[in-house]
Structure 1
């Protein structure tokens, strides 16, 4: 069986600390629920101890900016 978290096309996923999350939400002038969603059981979150309501920071390779950072709200 293939481990999805080890695949080269799966970007880094990290749990966002609450203090940092407030700064991010203020910067973009959004609420937590305005973020795109990711399911708690998504294979990419296997190594991340995330629960519903947490926010995940995803670092992707980007042709234009080298690294693109996106955020996702964890849902059931």
Structure 2
């Protein structure tokens, strides 16, 4: 079976600590539930499966054509 999380087109995913989550939410003036969602069983989270829990916020750093990197955030849901 192929491990999707190790594919070179899958961007880096990491769990944010609570302090960083509060900074992100304050920067965008939103609530945690306003973030786009990602399912806990998403194949891209396979490496984080033990770390990512429902309610956590995942930071995804992608390559971008217009900027070097684009950072997006997702709320982990069941």
In the superposition, the TM-score normalised over structure 1's length comes to 0.97
Shift of 1:21: 0.6
Instruction: State the match for 1:69 in structure 2.
Output: 71
Aligned 1:1-76 pairs, distance under 5 A: 1-48=1-48, 49-76=51-78
Q: Which runs of 5+ in 1 are unaligned?
A: none
Structure 2 unaligned segments of length 5 or more: list them. none
The alignment covers a number of residue pairs equal to 76
Distance 1:2 1:43 in 2: 10
Which runs of structure 1 show a deviation greater than 3 angstroms over 4 or more consecutive aligned residues?
A: none
Q: CA RMSD, aligned part only?
A: 0.5
